[in-house]
Amino acid sequence: MTRTIEFRDALREAMSEEMRRDQRVFLMGEEVAEYNGAYKVSRGMLDEFGPRRVIDTPISESGFAGLGIGAAMMGLRPIIEFMSWSFSLVAADPILNNAPKMLYMSGGQVGCPIVYRGNDGAGGQLGSTHSWCVEALYSNVPGVKIAIPHTPYDAKGLLKTAIRDEDPVFFLESERLLSVTGEVPEEEYTVPFGQAKIVRPGKDCTVVSFGRPVYFCLDAAEELAKEGIDCEVIDGRTIRPLDIDTIVASVKNTNYCVVVDQSWSFASPGSEIAAQVHQHCFDDLDNYVGRVHSDDVPAPYAQNLEQEMLPNARKITEAVRAVTYNA
């Protein structure tokens, strides 16, 4: 049986089910308990699990990010909520310098099974400092897994996988997607890491994305279909591990590729995917791999500028037209 629920409910179901299943799992972050979460993701969890397992913290990102590592080293399974991934920058030392290196630096002995999760990307007029897309920065670091769902179904399934994972997982949600609804089974399921999903099959051009921009890709594909360009849209679902196989198989079929990534272009998941596609599909490609990113400027505050700066359906449409010699 499936029902239609919001993205935020899918996240909460994943956490609550895992907390029921495993006493080692707990949720910690700013306002997650009494206030039900700044974005109501953890609504009702304090009532069900009590203050021992749903913990309000001081405004102290480095503090709870690091405390979670200690707890994970002792075998617990912390879920650490950043109200926004933009705020994780002050916790760079624990999340980048400790958690992903703990296993290696302990000679393979002590891993760090921890989930850091929260809102990533432009939330809508939050200004430059609160609109970070951290995936480019953080995916550069070995030892980290990064999941970035775009549907409630994937959000729930991937988050459950994240909580069960033995390694640190950065789980990137989007404030703009929290109210999006979608079908989610009532039955237990998980979505494995490293398996991209073809969300729209097509034969003319492969369009690869992850997270919120997948919706823009689907909009663009509809528009392009009217012009007779049939796009295959792939949602990577996790950036690390990256399912390059699915992407390569698609490009070998379509011979064209556009990568859509909401981070800045320089040294980003988009540039990595483009490089890998160039390498593995060199003889199959009929043009360079096109890329759509946020423009190389701080996220603007003004609504019209923000939308222009981010990837959007218009930019994607233009990129596909250009790459497929339809411009």
Partner 1 sequence: MPVKTVYETSIEHVSILDEHGKFDAKLGEGLIPDEDVVKLYEHMSVCRHYDEVAFKLQRSGRMGTYPQNMGQEAASLGAAYALQKDDWFVTCYRENAGLFWHGLPMEHVLLHWMGDERGNEIPEGCYCTPLAIPIGTQMLHAAGLAWAAKYNGENRIACTFFGDGATSEGDFHEAANFAANLDLPVVFVCQNNSWAISVPTKIQCSAPTVAQRGIAYGMPCVQVDGNDLFAMVKVIRDAAVRARDEKRPTFIEAVTYRLGDHTTADDARRYRDADEVEMWKKRDPLIRLRLFLDERKLWTTKKEEALQASAKEIVSAVVKRAEEIAEPTTNDIFDHTFAEIPPNLRVQRSTLRTHSLGQDPSPLRDTQAASAPTR
**Piece in contact with partner 1 (CB under 8 A), picked from 13-21, 51-59, 204-212, 215-223:** 51-59
Residue 75 binds to partner 1 (criterion: CB under 8 A): yes
Single out the residue of 37, 42, 49, 68 in contact with partner 1 (rule: CB under 8 A): 68
Contact 116, 170 (CB under 8 A): yes
Single out the residue of 1, 52, 187, 226 in contact with partner 1 (rule: CB under 8 A): 52
Which amino acid, one-letter code, is at 15? M
> Residue 326, exposed/middle/buried by CB under 10 A (0-12, 13-18, 19+)?
middle
Residue 29 binds to partner 1 (criterion: CB under 8 A): no
- Chain-centre distance for alpha carbon 188: 22
Residue 280 binds to partner 1 (criterion: CB under 8 A): yes
Residues marked as catalytic: 61, 130
End-to-end CA distance of the chain: 45
Single out the residue of 62, 190, 255, 287 in contact with partner 1 (rule: CB under 8 A): 62
Could you say which residues in the range 143-182 bind partner 1, by CB under 8 A?
A: 143, 145, 165-167
Q: How far is the CB of 229 from partner 1 (least distance, A)?
A: 27
**What are the DSSP calls for 132-197, one per residue?**
--THHHHTTSTT-EEE---SHHHHHHHHHHHHH-SS-EEEEE-GGGTT-EEEEESS-----TT--E
In the complex, which residues of this chain contact partner 1 (CB under 8 A)?
A: 26, 52, 55, 57-58, 60, 62-76, 78, 90, 93-94, 97-98, 100, 102-111, 113, 142-143, 145, 165-167, 194, 240-242, 244-245, 248, 279-280
